Structure formats: structure tokens, C-alpha cells
Structure 1
Amino acid sequence: MRLAFMGTPDFSVAVLAELIAAGHEIAAVYSRAPAPSGRGHKLKPSPVHAFAQANGLEVRTPKNFKTREEINAFSALDLDAAIVVAYGVILPQALLDAPRHGCLNLHASLLPRWRGAAPIQRAIMAGDKVTGVQVMQMEAGLDTGAILLSETVPIAANDTAGSLHDKLSGVAARIAPVALAALERGGLVATPQAEEGVIYAHKISAKEARIDWSRPAAEIDCNIRGLSPFPGAWFEADGERVKALMSNQAAGTGTPGDILDTDGKLVIACGDVAVELSSLQRAGKKVQNAEEFLRGFPLKQGARVS
């Protein structure tokens, strides 16, 4: 099929690679414009942009589609379909209607739960046990279109946003060609989303990253893993900010923030029981396991973090 691909982050790259491998004609790739990065603030192309260029594909980076010129340029591609994966730009109805089969979005949740920007992080932070990838027929609303294909993925107790991201990206890459093959032969059935159970996966705010030790251990554990590796949940110890990147619930009670154990592991009291922090990172330092961290940053049992 003749396609446009629209995506920006690492999550989307695997899908584009599979569409190329499946023999689809990629007429153009749309991605967010290069953004300043690093100390020199040099413009850096998105992961999709860089991958597409490396594979000799035309890349377009419009800021939006508010002008007739951009809409006409898209329509002139004469597409069978557009595949949209975490693009990050709103598509007007005129654009959605331009390809013969419309625009298909691959979304990393089981809709209508976790519509919006951060479905992977929010699923872990909420303690969900299952998520998935769905192929959706796009319409003007935010992730409101009918579901064309779906695959569920269990969320393990030790999953982080990073590990779940990789699982779901692999699933998206695998089912995208399957969906297009079914679309081409007329084998996709559109199922409207349920009206109940709508939850929005709002962007992660900076204030959510600070750990509140008065909350239950299960919630703190989910927040730590849901924010790992980025932006990283954090706490203060001896006046220094420390990121907690991996954790699990642990036995023990005390005043929230009390350090209960530092014998090769770091166990901290929460609002009910405790959490054990197994992967940590000091500012400007590499990620360390708890034993390595405590050797260079000795915290004493009975001390308190905040």
C-alpha cells in the first residue's frame, strides 16, 4: 500500500521499520521538527526523523496543519492510508479524510482507558495489571475512534515505563502490517469504543515526580516504576536529590521516610508498610544498585529521607 507514516519518538521507529520490511511504499514521513538538545542546544532530529533519513525517505516536519498549503501537500501524496504512531501533532478532519482508507493510529493502551499523551506511564502508576496496543480509525476527537485491531499485554510486577515501552513498541511493530493486510482485503471490523471507562493519560507533571512517603507503599512503588527511567521519581537525602528508578514493596513499618534497613539494600517506611529501592541515581552520576549506592552515599538505619 502507498502510505504516509507519522510519528516522532523511539516507540514509533520499530513500526516504521516493519512497514518498510513488509514492502509498503512510504510516500513521506511526518515527524515533529528538530528540537534543541544538549549543552550546545543544537537542533536534533527526532528518532523517527533520523531513521527515515537514514533509509532514504522524504521527511516533512510541519509545525501544524492549519494552512491549506500543508493540507494540500498531504492530499497530493495520493495515499491508501496514513499510519500514525505517537506523532504529537493534531490532525484536522480534512487530513484524516484525505487517504482512501483514512488514518490509522496505533495507541499504547486498551481504549477508552488512557486516552492521551502518557498511556504507558499512567498504566503502571495506576497499578494496572494489563494494557495493550490497539489500531484505531482516527477521527477528530482525542483517541476516540473505532477499534480495528487489538492485542493485550500483561504488566509485570517489575515492569517500568521503560520496559513496558519496549514490549508495547514490539507489539505495535508486529500488528501494524497485519492490520494493513486485513485493511487491504476488507477484513477489518470497526468496533466503537465503550462509552464507559474513559480515562485520560495526562502528561506527567514535575510535581508528580517527588516521592510522598506518607502514601501507601503500593502506590509509591507504582509511581517509581511508572516514572522510570524518565523523568524519574526522586527524594531528598542529606540535602541531595536522589532518583529512585526501581523498587518493590517490602515488609516493615515506621514513620514515613524512615530508613528501616541499609544492609546491602535500602528499605524506607511508607504510609503503611515499606518499599525497597533497588536502583538509584545521584545527580550527575550513573545509575547504581542499592549496594553500590550505599557504599558511596552511606545512609544510616534510623535516618530519614524526605
Structure 2
Amino acid sequence: MRLAFMGSPDFAVPALRALHGAGHDIVAVYCQPPRPAGRGQKETPCPVHRAALELGLPVRTPARLRRDAAEHAAFAALDLDAAVVAAYGLILPAPMLAAPRRGCLNIHASLLPRWRGAAPIQAAILAGDAESGVTIMQMEEGLDTGPMLLRAAVPIGPRGTTPALHDALAAAGAALILRALAEAPPAVPQPVEGVTYAPKLSKADAGIDWRESAAALDRRVRALNPWPGTVFRQGGEAIRLLAAEPAAGSGPPGTVLDAAPTIACGEGALRLLRLQRPGRGPLPAEAFLRGFPLPPGTVLGNG
């Protein structure tokens, strides 16, 4: 099948590789332009860009699409059977959505209509959902509102993290898009009930508030690491909390209860397992405390 692939982050790479491995004719790969990264701020291509070059596929990196008639015409001239979209990062305008013969198919990392929007993986963990999944959706101009072609559920598990769920959903999406292209299943409208939204995350979401319950903070740590992370303040420093688990205990929120260290929350307590100071490497709690003591009775600041 003659395809364009449109994606940027790691999540999209397994699908690109699966389509290429299945023998589809990928005539163009669209992704975000290279951006400065690292200490030297060197222009760095995104993961999909790097994978496409490795596979010998032509890459296009337009900075915008919405009002660019030349880009619309170039896309139409590809004479596509379909376009596959996975976390591309740009909104496709109507002329591009309509250009391929079978339209544009989106690999969305949730069981639609739950968690439309930019951060469905993190939102599912934050909400305590028992499962997430992947939906192959026929794209339209609304935000993740198009009819569904296929869905596959993926369990989250009681200690599920964003990196683990991300990888499971990326693999599931790669398998599911191959089925959607091969089987051409009928499109089913999304239910009008049960719609939820997962807004884009920012650095402002990283702050820990010890007044929350231990269960909620545990989900927060598992959902928001590695980015934007979870942070509390102590001794004038912003300390990243990389791993934690609920524990027995109670007290004023933010109070260190024991040497573990276990921290009192608005309800229950949280044992800190892995932490990181600014400019330092991540450490298990025992090693961290040797250089940054948190004696019982200390009250930690919110992030």
C-alpha cells in the first residue's frame, strides 16, 4: 500500500518499523523539524526522523501545515492510499485529511472516547485506570473525535509507570495499524458518553502537594516521570522524586515520619525510594540520605 507516515517521538517508531517491515511503500515520512538539544544545543532530529533515515525513507519536516497551500499540494501529489499518523505534533488541515484515498488513520494511545488529547498515557495512570489501550481512528478535523476502526486494551497494573505503559501501547499500536490496513474494518462512531480529555503537560505539573493522598501522589510519581517529573522543595533545592510507594503512617502533611524516609500525606503516607538533587545523578533513598539528611520531624516543602 502506498503510504505516508506522520509521527515524531519514540512512541511512533515501532509503527513506522512495522509498516516498513510489512512491505508497505512509504513514500514520505513527516516529522517535527530538528531542534536544539543537549548541553551544546545542537540541532537534533526526532526519533522518527532518525528511524526513517536508518530505513532509507524520504523525510519531510515542515514547521507548519495549516495555512500552507504548497504543503497541501505536495501532500496530495504523493497519490497516497492512506496516511498513518502517530503523535505527529502538528494538526492536519482538511485538504490533507481528504487527500489519501483511505484517509488519514491515527494511532491514539487510549481506548477512545476516554482520554482524547495530548497526554493520554499519563492521564490514565493519574486517574487510577485499570487499563489503557490503543485506538485506530479515522481522522477528522475535531480533536480525536473521528470514528474508530480497531481498539485493543492493555492492562496498566497496580504499579504501572508511564515508560512501561508507553512501550506496551507503542507495540500494540504497531500491530493494530497493520491489521487496520489489511482488514479495512468498518468505521464505528465514538460513543457520546464517557468522553474525557488529557491536556498537554507542562513543567508546572511537576510540583508535589503533600496535602494530596498518598495514593494520588503515588500515581503522580508513576505517571509524570521522566517528564515533567515530580518535585518537592527542601533546603532551598528542588528535589526530584523518581520513585515512591504508599506506606503506613500519618501526621501533618509533608512531615518526615521515619528514616526510610516515609512522608505523611493528606491521607496516608508515602515512602520515598529514589531521588535526585539538581545537577546530580539519581540515587536510591538510602544513598541519597547520606548526602542530604531528612531526619524525622523535618517538614518538606511542596513543589
Return 77-86 or 188-197, whichever deviates more: 188-197
Residue type at the aligned position of 1:209:
A
The reply on whether 1:203 has 2:203 as its aligned counterpart is: no
Residue type at the aligned position of 1:26:
I
Structure 2 CA distance for aligned equivalents of residues 52 and 94 of structure 1: 25
Structure 2 CA distance for aligned equivalents of residues 157 and 277 of structure 1: 17
Structure 2 CA distance for aligned equivalents of residues 193 and 126 of structure 1: 21
State the Cα distance separating 1:205 from its structure 2 match. 2.8
State the Cα distance separating 1:295 from its structure 2 match. 2.3
Deviations 1:212-253 (A, max 9, x none): 001111111111111011111000122221111122211100
Deviations 1:262-298 (A, max 9, x none): 2xx3211000110112122111222222222222222
Q: 2:279 aligns with which of 277, 284, 292?
A: 284
Q: 1:236 aligns with which of 233, 253, 276?
A: 233
Residue type at the aligned position of 1:94:
P
State the Cα distance separating 1:40 from its structure 2 match. 2.3
State the Cα distance separating 1:206 from its structure 2 match. 2.5
Local SS of the residue matching 1:113? coil
Local SS of the residue matching 2:151? strand
Q: 1:295 aligns with which of 283, 287, 290?
A: 290
Local SS of the residue matching 1:261? coil
The answer for the alignment partner of 1:249 in structure 2 is 246
State the Cα distance separating 1:62 from its structure 2 match. 0.9
The answer for the alignment partner of 1:178 in structure 2 is 179
Structure 1 CA distance for aligned equivalents of residues 129 and 280 of structure 2: 32
Q: CA RMSD for the aligned pairs?
A: 1.1
The reply on whether 1:269 has 2:270 as its aligned counterpart is: no
Structure 2 CA distance for aligned equivalents of residues 170 and 176 of structure 1: 10
Residue type at the aligned position of 1:202:
P
Structure 2 CA distance for aligned equivalents of residues 180 and 266 of structure 1: 52
The answer to whether the 8 Å contact 1:160/1:229 transfers is no
State the Cα distance separating 1:259 from its structure 2 match. 0.7
* TM-score, with structure 1 as normaliser: 0.95
Return 101-110 or 245-254, whichever deviates more: 245-254
The reply on whether 1:194 has 2:194 as its aligned counterpart is: no
The answer for the alignment partner of 1:100 in structure 2 is 101
The answer to whether the 8 Å contact 2:137/2:148 transfers is yes
Structure 2 CA distance for aligned equivalents of residues 226 and 81 of structure 1: 33
State the Cα distance separating 1:115 from its structure 2 match. 0.8
Local SS of the residue matching 1:52? helix
The answer for the alignment partner of 2:127 in structure 1 is 126
The answer for the alignment partner of 1:20 in structure 2 is 20
Local SS of the residue matching 1:135? strand
The answer to whether the 8 Å contact 1:135/1:179 transfers is yes
Matched-pair identity in %? 54
The reply on whether 1:217 has 2:214 as its aligned counterpart is: yes
Residue type at the aligned position of 1:215:
E
Any stretches of 5+ residues in structure 2 without a counterpart? none
Local SS of the residue matching 1:27? strand
* TM-score, with structure 2 as normaliser: 0.96
Any stretches of 5+ residues in structure 1 without a counterpart? none
The answer for the alignment partner of 2:162 in structure 1 is 161
The answer to whether the 8 Å contact 1:209/1:231 transfers is yes
Local SS of the residue matching 2:3? strand
Deviations 1:172-203 (A, max 9, x none): 122221211112xxxx0211111122211111
Structure 2 CA distance for aligned equivalents of residues 35 and 175 of structure 1: 30
Structure 2 CA distance for aligned equivalents of residues 193 and 95 of structure 1: 22
The answer for the alignment partner of 1:38 in structure 2 is 38
State the Cα distance separating 1:85 from its structure 2 match. 0.1
The answer to whether the 8 Å contact 2:202/2:228 transfers is no
State the Cα distance separating 1:30 from its structure 2 match. 0.1
Structure 1 CA distance for aligned equivalents of residues 47 and 202 of structure 2: 23
Residue type at the aligned position of 1:279:
R
Equivalent residues, number: 300
Residue type at the aligned position of 1:288:
L
Stretches of 4+ aligned residues off by more than 6 angstroms: none
Local SS of the residue matching 2:132? strand
The answer to whether the 8 Å contact 2:212/2:265 transfers is yes
Structure 2 CA distance for aligned equivalents of residues 295 and 168 of structure 1: 38
